[in-house]
Structure 1
Amino acid sequence: MRSTIAQAPGAPPPGNRMLAQEAIMIEAPKIIDIDPARAIAVVRIHCPREELSCTLNRGVRELLDRIKTQGARAMGPLFTHHMRDPTDSFDCEVGVAVDLPVRAAGHVHPSQWPVMRAAHALYRGRYEDLPRAWADLQAWIARQGLAATGELWECYVTGPEIGSDASAWRTELYLPLRAGSGLAWATGVSSWATAPTGAGSA
């Protein structure tokens, strides 16, 4: 589990071919159902873009300290849940799945990763290019005639803690779909054994 997060924020062929756009590498998107909901602990972040890195890192330190103090364990990668597309400011939560619900303490609050149908893609590369990765996923959704809720979930599976080769850094992108959207596209239910807590360390 990493304790820091660097500053973030046509139709693909079937199979596992990558969409390559210069440094951007995104696996072919899929529509998945995530079920059941999962207990998470979060810190709410609202700050200007230029303050995001320091604010996130401060939030992560408090998040992991509070979880440990309460006897809970992190059960997957760190993630950010963006309430809207980032602009010159960010409105998001930084969080992690936990093995038991936590109590509110300081800036840390209990919450849930909800049941959702989402467009999912795995991105490999630098955090600085994540906005372009999201743009690719959003463009794919638009081409399929699907409607997103406007929220973004970003799981940091591996990153700088494994080395400086950014092509090995993996970030999972989840774009929730509006109710009734994507019914004909779902490829099956992703349980928490395989997503997002099954992913490694963020």
Structure 2
Amino acid sequence: MHTGLTVGEFSRVTHLSIKTLRHYHDVGLLAPADVDRGTGYRYYSLDQVPTAQVIVRLRNLDMPVADVRAVLAAEDVSTRNDLITAHLARLEDRLAQAQSPVESLRDLLARPAHGSAIEYRTVREQPAIGIRELVDRQDVVSWWQGALGELHGFLTARGLRPTGPMGGLFASELLQDERGEALVFVPVDGAARPVGRISTVVVPGAELAVAVHRGPLQTIDLTYADLGTHTTRHEIGVAGPLREFYLRGPLDLADEHAWVTEVGWPIFRSNG
């Protein structure tokens, strides 16, 4: 005679369906306390109710079955808590990654209909130090951050004086073909001996249509779109790298919403 709970009774107690309980048995999460060899009926003990409740909560947090199994098998509280904490950290990272596109969409919906204010500017060529490489589009942000930090460290170590804000030049192929040349540079006053990836460069002059982007890089495509629309509509766009000037960036402010970037689009502008 069995004194445990039938699968139906245990289902009512735990709010887990019979189908789910059978699945948890099959995958090794929650085996019945006893299985009748003659009938195959499954019986659970009341001591298994807290285990079932833990499983429900971990699965509600999208913890994989293998990880839930590891939590239940943990021999001590510390190991169990480490496993749960690691999963919560992954959830927080996933939430943070989802938050950025949500904010980006909100920014797009809240933008004024007229878009960015655009001015025309003549930029003279500048001696600078820089890092120039062929970069895959998917890697460009991490590459850009590393290059900025490396240039900043070089400036500090050599005591060089910037003559303008840090900037970047990005070939059209980087967007069109997902791989292209990128240059991050700092205009400097005085010669500098090349070291590693850092070399002396001359940033070419250009005629630019310029708009100011305020905020994180995730939404800078909106400013580029305003410039591209403007130059196409007025038939003044020309071939050439896109240009950025970092008036306030990650080296100045940790809060990316306070960053200020000037974006330049190459144009034809007659002197007359």
TM-score band by shorter chain is 0.5 to 0.7
The residue type paired with residue 100 of structure 1 is G
Is the deviation greater in 77-86 or in 118-127?
77-86
Question: 1:131 maps to what in 2?
Answer: 221
**Superposition deviation, residue 43 in structure 1:** 0.2
1:118 corresponds to: 208
More strand by share: 1
AA aligned opposite 2:184: V
1:104 corresponds to which of 166, 173, 194: 194
Structure 2 counterpart SS, 1:52: helix
Aligned equivalent of 1:151, options 241, 256, 263: 241
Aligned to 1:22, the other structure's residue is in SS state helix
Counterpart of 2:269 (choices 163, 177, 182) is 182
Q: Which of the pair has more CA radius of gyration?
A: 2
User: Structure 2-normalised TM-score?
Assistant: 0.52
Q: What CA distance in whole angstroms lies between the structure 1 residues aligned with 2:183 and 2:226?
A: 23
State the percentage of identical aligned residues.
22
Bigger relative contact order (CA 8 A; separation at least 6): 1
Return the offset for 1:138: 0.9
Does residue 22 in structure 1 map to residue 109 in structure 2?
yes
Residues 1:24 and 1:78: Cα distance change in structure 2 (over 3 Å): farther
Cα distance per residue 1:71-113 (max 9 Å; x no partner): 3222332221112253333420111111223222211111123
2:120 maps to which of 10, 17, 31: 31
SS at match of 2:165: coil
Contact 2:247 2:261 (8 Å CA) reproduced:
yes
Decide which moves more: 22-31 or 73-82: 22-31
Q: 1:59 aligns with which of 147, 153, 157?
A: 147
Question: Match for residue 43 of structure 1?
Answer: 131
Residues 24 and 133, structure 1, Cα contact 8 Å, conserved in 2:
no
> Does the aligned pair in 1 maintain the 2:216–2:256 contact within 8 Å?
no
The aligned length equals: 161
CA contact (8 A) 1:85 1:151 kept: no
SS at match of 2:237: coil
What's 1:75 paired with?
163
CA deviation profile, 1:114-163 (whole Å, cap 9, x unmatched):
22211111122221011221121011001111132231111121245446
Unmatched 5+ residue regions in structure 2? 1-106
Partner of 1:5: none
SS at structure 2 position matched to 1:86? helix
**Unaligned segments of structure 1, at least 5 residues:** 1-19, 186-202
Contact 1:52 / 1:90 at 8 angstroms: preserved in 2? no
Residues 173, 179 of structure 2: 8 Å contact kept:
no
Aligned partner of residue 174 in structure 2, secondary structure: coil
Cα distance in 1, alignment partners of residues 233 and 119 from structure 2 = 13
Task: Supply the distance in 1 between the matched residues of 2:254 and 2:123 (Cα, whole angstroms).
Answer: 30
